[in-house]
Amino acid sequence: MTFGESKRKFEINKHLRQWHLGNNVLDEVSHIMYLGNKLCAYNSTCERSKDMAKRAYVYLGSLKSVGFHSLGLSPITNGVLWQRLCLPSMLFSCETWGNLPKKEYDIFEKTQRTVAKYIQGVAKRTHNEIVLGLLGWHTIQGQIDEHKLKFVGKLVNMPATCITKKIFTSEIYHCILSSDESKTITSDFVRVLKKYNLYKYLLSYLRGGTFPDKLPWKYIVKAQVHMFEEIQWKINLRNKDANRYLRIQPKLNTNIVYTHIKSNLSLRSKLMSIVYMLTIVEEDEIMMCSECNNVLTNSVDHYIMRCNKFIIMRNKLWNDILDSMNVHAEVRFLLKDDEDVLEILLGKECEEIKEPHVLLTRVGEFILDILNQLGLL
């Protein structure tokens, strides 16, 4: 292999060069597998990223028979299978990748979003942040950064006599003291440490030799990466006007609906109807309800809270909810505005609701009846 040439120049020059090992002529290749990674002669990692993404799809095909789809295992269980079996194969040795171009991160992000939509059975037009938020997943870039930070901890906590640690420490000093902004693995480690406000730990180690042990460092890294991912997730949701969803699920954790589905898989169809309403992308236009002929600007609010077609079913739902409360909780619940009540019905935490799984099951049954009558299921 000859590194550093453009793809076009490489194709021309490889026919002009000849390599020999003794009397044998060696073929010059453009790619080679080294330690599970594809190395490219013209310094491009795009093909490697595509190959790594394909690996994940290969694993997915073998998992379908065990229920890896929206009608099989619970979304949480499917998510665990993805993160423990498929994701490690896609991100193998990602600690050494350096800072990838955006188009390559997009390859991995698209793969994860496709899987997330597949195991949840949500519409293709659903906001990506909602799709990942329901499962509590970080972006692929965040997960790669987490692997890099943990790898830094392993290097620092190696014995002082280890040659690997000596090389790493030397490279870190060179990176910090040099004004050269090279794209080395070491400089990428420094970049990631600064990104998550963890650079101070590296400086502390270089000045006095102190650095958190393996387990404390793992917790520190997970906390910082999660905080960063959650902030970016909220910003993206606000930019896409998904404020109702953000009020219902204000944290980047597994949605409460999925927690109940995992504990009782027989309630899947009822509870997934709530998820269907949560993930609807509202259009910025005024429409007429085909059931009651009234104007509607928000379909979720209209069908659950206002449509006259479902008034009998709705009244029964209110009676069931109020019968489960004491007098004081009932008064506080009735004082809430319509939007707040709607968000509670879709899973928002409410102190008046003592058994949220019972409420969600009843609401899911109500919404499922609505969707069936509308012909949406």
Whether 261 and 267 have beta carbons less than 8 Å apart is answered as yes
* Element of type H or E holding 60: helix 46-63
The whole-number pLDDT of residue 179 equals 65
Cα 239 from Cα 233, distance rounded (Å): 10
Same domain, 129 and 238: yes
Of 254, 272, 288, which residue is a domain's last? Answer: 254
Q: Are 141 and 2 in the same domain?
A: no
Domain match, 242 and 305 both: no
Q: Which domain, by its residues, includes 366?
A: 261-374
Report the pLDDT value the prediction gives residue 17, as an integer from 0 to 100. 87
Mean residue pLDDT across the chain:
90
56 pLDDT band, cuts 50/70/90, is confident
- The pLDDT, as a whole number, for residue 198 is 96
Domain end position, chosen among 231, 254, 277:
254
> Do residues 87 and 106 make contact, with C-beta atoms less than 8 angstroms apart?
no
The answer on 40 and 50 residing in a single domain is no
State the pLDDT at residue 294: 86
pTM over cut 0.85: yes
Q: Is the pLDDT of residue 243 over 70?
A: yes
The single-letter DSSP state of residue 377 is -
pLDDT of residue 67: 85
pLDDT > 90? residue 346: yes
In a shared domain, residues 230 and 274: no
Overall number of domains in the chain: 3
Q: Which residues contact 132 (CB under 8 A, 6 or more apart)?
A: 112, 113, 116, 138, 139, 233
* Claim to verify: residue 83 and residue 207 sit in the same structural domain: yes
Q: Where a domain ends, among 222, 254, 286?
A: 254
Let me know whether 139 and 210 are in one domain.
yes
- Specify whether 273 is located in the same domain as 152: no
Confidence at residue 272, expressed as pLDDT on a 0 to 100 scale: 95
Give residue 298's identity as a one-letter amino acid code: N
Mean pLDDT in residue range 127-154: 96
In this prediction, residue 83 has a pLDDT band, given cuts at 50, 70 and 90, of very high
Using the predicted structure, report yes or no on whether residue 212 has a pLDDT greater than 90: yes
Q: What is the mean pLDDT of residues 214-237?
A: 96
pLDDT tier for residue 2 given thresholds of 50, 70 and 90: confident
| CA dist., res. 154 & res. 168, Å (int) | 11
Average pLDDT over residues 165-175: 89
Q: Are residues 250 and 360 part of one domain? A: no
| Count of residues in the chain | 377
At residue 69 the predicted structure's pLDDT band, cuts being 50, 70 and 90, is: confident
Are 337 and 223 found together in one domain?
Answer: no
- pLDDT tens-digit readout, 271-304: 999 999 999 877 667 788 888 888 888 889 999 9
CA distance 262 to 201: 39
DSSP run (H or E) holding 336: none
pLDDT at residue number 125: 86
**Do 283 and 184 share a domain, yes or no?**
no
Other CB atoms within 10 A of residue 90 CB: 24
> Do 152 and 23 fall into the same domain?
no
pLDDT for the residue numbered 273? 94
